[in-house]
Amino acid sequence: MGNRRRLVQALNSQVDHLRTERELREQAARAAERSRIAAEMHDVLAHRLSLIALHTGVLATRADTVPSPVAQRLTLLRAASTEALADLRDVLGALHDAGPATGDQAPAPVLRDVRELVEQAREAGQQVDLRVEGMPEQAPAAHRLALYRLVQEGLTNSRKHAADAPVRIRLDYGPPATVVEIINTAGRTTAYPAPSGFGLVGLGERVHALGGHLSAGPHGAGSWRLAARITHPAHHEQNGSRT
């Protein structure tokens, strides 16, 4: 009885340790995803601010062809955009991984087209059926980045657990919402085990930060479904004002 009691205590201690370890891993996954979001938005905003500074600089060189008040505003706008770009780099630039680049690292998904992911998957032998509604420009940049990550995660998990199974992807850029749905069946040669969940934890953090909803789990007989819906800011504000 004494040995049994000590064994139960040891097992309880091990369960508590595993639970704490899992919570720490989930926190690390959320923190990593937040850092990734900030780094991606840094790239997007830096690109757009650079365009503003470039075009206002070109217009400022032709100040003699525009009224004086307009020329003054152009100079002010160029200075403000340049300063904002410098501030952005100071604040968020450190979030980029400063380690040496390797050939295995995937390029950062800065407003890249999801079709690139699908084509790469097809070249690797995956059967992918893609259906797109709307245009990417209809969705906010943060939504498009999230959508890219969701499709990337869905295709990666499918390759790992059901490489020979067809994948169906539905994208809707809205409005009123950005929607993604990824469904695949279990493969003939690979069982579909329960995922570790840490990749989904990070994606959940990203989607929830945008005010959206993420769901992942079994879907029908032997299928797996990953889906997210993120309401566009304008529609979210309208619904909030009505309530």
pLDDT for 187-228, tens place per residue? 654 444 444 456 777 888 888 888 899 998 888 777 889 999
pLDDT for 143-198, tens place per residue? 988 898 899 888 888 888 777 789 999 999 988 999 999 998 866 544 444 444 56
pLDDT for 52-105, tens place per residue? 877 777 777 777 777 888 888 888 887 887 777 777 666 665 555 544 444 444
Closest CA to 186 of 175, 197, 194: 194
Residue-by-residue DSSP string for 23-49? HHHHHHHHHHHHHHHHHHHHHHHHHHH
Strand partners, 183: 168, 225
Q: Compute the C-alpha angle 202/205/210, nearest 5°.
A: 135
Q: Compute the C-alpha angle 88/93/98, nearest 5°.
A: 175
> Which single residue is written with the structure tokens 């503003």?
52
* Predicted TM-score of the model (pTM): 0.61
* Preceding amide of 175 cis, omega within 30: yes
Cβ count near 171 (within 10 Å): 22
Taking the C-alpha atoms of residue 59 and residue 51, their distance in angstroms, rounded to an integer, is 12
